[in-house]
Structure 1
Amino acid sequence: MGFMHVFDLSMWQWVWVIIAAFLVGFSKTGISGFLMPVIPIVASVFGGKESTGIILPLLIVGDAFALYYYQRHAEWSNIKRLLPWTFVGLILGVITGSYVNDKQFKMFIAISVILCLIILIYMEKKGENFKVPKGAWFYAGMGALSGFTSMIGNAAGSIFSVYLLAMDFKKNGFMGTTAWFFFIVNLTKVPLQVFFWHNISFKNLGLTLAMVPAIAIGALLGAVIIKRVNEKQFRVLIIVMTAAAAVRLLI
């Protein structure tokens, strides 16, 4: 009980934080789109920018569970193409997050996700006739946008999903590549948030430690469910959750 009083949260706020931690674990080993509700949930409990410092340690724990299940399935060539541009996007996100309010950058993220969703639906309609862009601009744009939206809203999952589906990734490759990419990106964000936004503290890390069981349960359930989903269902679920994420960011 004394530990709970450290965070000065009501019982219902604790319930929402536990739900958020569960969804982090589930999204990391199951359907990535289920991460999106975590953003408004945590923001409603802790506030805008402070919530990013709460969510990030939770995400890193979730990433660790994802690596346990999918580390062997990553396609590193695609990760390496994006990472340099992703780091550029992270820096732009740090700068932007220091000057714009929550509503403004959430609107930008929502617009980005909607544009990616339109592209994804178009790709599905074209089927095998769709040709993935091969130019450096494609990797630069997707990498920078993933880094930017990850930094200011932890909302890069939808954009990265569009990139992987555009590259025709199958389920295991999708999960393994996503796990390694976001583990690297999220670790990179830690010093940026500590030294520039000052919103990660030992108190936050204590909360993360307390939420490990909820993240673990979510991760276990996600890994079980994803095995029962076929490739077609997997792609449809990604599209649906991406659409839901965009709508939620606009509300």
Structure 2
Amino acid sequence: MSLPTEIGFYIVASVAVILVGLAKGGFAGLGATAMPLLALVMDPVAGAGMLLPILMVQDVVSVWAFRRSYDVATLWLTIPGAAVGIFLGWLLASAINADAVRGFVGVIALAFGVYRLLPLFSLQMKMSGPAPKWVGAVMGVLSGFTSQIAHAGGPPFQIWALSRNFPHLVFVGTSSIFFAIINWMKVPAYAALGQFNTQNMTLTALFLPLAILSTVAGVKLVKRVSPQRFNIIIQLLMVLVGAELIRQSIW
């Protein structure tokens, strides 16, 4: 077993883990940037495998913090579709090489980053009312797929959940439970891809304390600081990282 020795890897990976921790603590949207960042410095499938146990530990903190605020109907509607999406994501990752996966991660990052920047140009897509239930089912599939490929299932789920106009804590709590469940659902897929190996699990152990601390910090900060303050910088970063991953996958 040989761990990465480049200092740049540990800096980028630490930033990715902190972003996921803040997202799990209530700053929804920040976590989607983590996997694209990791894909810059390591094999994207290996990076996702290393990150998954960290996400699952962080889920314990976030679910406990928001356990009294969630919408049961949304979970019943979206989770079955997410299972289908996870299966499709596993099929794709098992059939293509690392560069192709990196390209997919880049496309997902670029698309979601641009989508979240649209309000700056008064181009935000708004629904006149709550989205139909079939939209929730479709978004569940997309969320499961993008979560399996890049741990970036947040945006599709949020499109549905935001249309329901939930109170902020209900939105955060429902998101926390949804992703805690689908992260467990992803375990067999990543095991089948051989990503729970000694090297990945050693890296997981190294970053786990930082993951827990950043999640606790997110839980405390989300009740005091508006997440909107971070969004523009994070989404610009996501667009740049996504474009770079696409470039790497092509050249």
Q: TM-score range by the shorter chain?
A: 0.7 to 0.9
Please list every run of at least 4 consecutive aligned residues from structure 1 whose deviation after the TM superposition is greater than 3 angstroms: 114-120, 233-248
Distance 2:106 2:241 in 1: 10
Q: How does 1:94-243 map to 2 (within 5 A)?
A: 94-100=90-96, 101-106=100-105, 108-110=107-109, 113=112, 117=116, 121-123=124-126, 130-136=128-134, 138-195=135-192, 197-229=193-225, 233-234=226-227, 241=234
Residue number in structure 1 paired with 2:37:
41
Size of the alignment, in residue pairs? 237
Residue number in structure 1 paired with 2:10:
14
What are the Cα deviations for residues 86-128 of structure 1, in whole angstroms up to 9, with x where unaligned?
A: 11111111112223412442355247536865699232xx7xx
User: Residue 98 of structure 1 aligns to a residue in which SS?
Assistant: helix
Residue number in structure 2 paired with 1:75:
71
After superposition, the CA RMSD in angstroms is: 2.8
User: Residue 125 of structure 2 aligns to a residue in which SS?
Assistant: helix
Residue number in structure 1 paired with 2:243:
250
* Structure 1, gaps ≥5 residues long: none
Distance 1:143 1:243 in 2: 25
Aligned-pair identity (%): 26
Q: TM-score, normalised by structure 2?
A: 0.81
After superposing the two structures, state which structure 1 stretch, 212-221 or 8-17, moved more: 8-17
Q: Once the 2 structures are TM-superposed, how far is the Cα of residue 213 of structure 1 from its aligned partner?
A: 1.8
2:124 alignment partner AA: I
What are the Cα deviations for residues 209-232 of structure 1, in whole angstroms up to 9, with x where unaligned?
A: 222221122112211221014xxx
Q: Once the 2 structures are TM-superposed, how far is the Cα of residue 83 of structure 1 from its aligned partner?
A: 0.8
Instruction: Answer yes or no: is the 8 Å Cα contact 2:114–2:235 preserved in 1.
Output: no
Distance 1:152 1:48 in 2: 9
Change (3 A) 1:135 1:25: closer
* Structure 2, gaps ≥5 residues long: 245-251
1:82 alignment partner AA: T
Distance 1:36 1:112 in 2: 11
Distance 1:143 1:105 in 2: 19
Distance 1:21 1:102 in 2: 20
Q: Once the 2 structures are TM-superposed, how far is the Cα of residue 35 of structure 1 from its aligned partner?
A: 1.5
Q: Once the 2 structures are TM-superposed, how far is the Cα of residue 207 of structure 1 from its aligned partner?
A: 2.4
What are the Cα deviations for residues 110-164 of structure 1, in whole angstroms up to 9, with x where unaligned?
A: 47536865699232xx7xxx1223242x122101100111111111112222221
What are the Cα deviations for residues 35-56 of structure 1, in whole angstroms up to 9, with x where unaligned?
A: 2332133223322221111111
1:59 alignment partner AA: L
Q: How does 1:27-38 map to 2 (within 5 A)?
A: 27-38=23-34
Q: Once the 2 structures are TM-superposed, how far is the Cα of residue 85 of structure 1 from its aligned partner?
A: 0.8
Q: TM-score, normalised by structure 1?
A: 0.81
Instruction: Answer yes or no: is the 8 Å Cα contact 1:116–1:162 preserved in 2.
Output: no
Change (3 A) 1:8 1:109: closer
Q: Which protein has the bigger helix share?
A: 1
Instruction: Answer yes or no: is the 8 Å Cα contact 1:132–1:167 preserved in 2.
Output: yes
1:250 alignment partner AA: A
2:125 alignment partner AA: Y
What are the Cα deviations for residues 172-203 of structure 1, in whole angstroms up to 9, with x where unaligned?
A: 111111111111101110111111x1112243
